[in-house]
Amino acid sequence: MQQINLKEIETAVNQYGEIVLSKNNKNDFVVMSMEEYNKNILRKKIIKALKESEQEIENGDGIESDEAFKKLRQKYGYEI
């Protein structure tokens, strides 16, 4: 069994952003920094919210932007 050198992995992640580790000729693991991981999670949440918003608009459930901003101003107590 091949030994894993954590310092080499850390250097590769710092250099390339993320690396894929293979086991039995299959890509089994992705190693990335916590910063990159958090960016990926946030990106997925934003995409999910946008898809849900698009579906609401298609279903006729959305509201006009003027109304949305009016409600936000009322909720948070400030004028733009």
Q: What is the pLDDT of residues 9-38, one digit of tens each?
A: 888 888 888 888 888 888 888 999 899 999
How far apart CA 80 and CA 65 sit, in angstroms, is: 14
Measured CA to CA in angstroms, residue 58 lies from 21, 51, 55 at distances of: 42, 11, 5
Per-residue pLDDT at 78 exceeds 80? no
How far apart CA 7 and CA 4 sit, in angstroms, is: 9
- pTM of the entire structure? 0.59
* pLDDT tens digits along 59-68: 988 888 898 8
Give the phi and the psi of residue 41 in degrees, each rounded to 5: -65, -45
pLDDT above 90 coverage of the chain, percent: 31
pLDDT mean over 51-77: 89
Judged on CB neighbours under 10 Å (0-12, 13-18, 19+), 71 is exposed
Residue 51's pLDDT band (cuts 50, 70, 90): very high
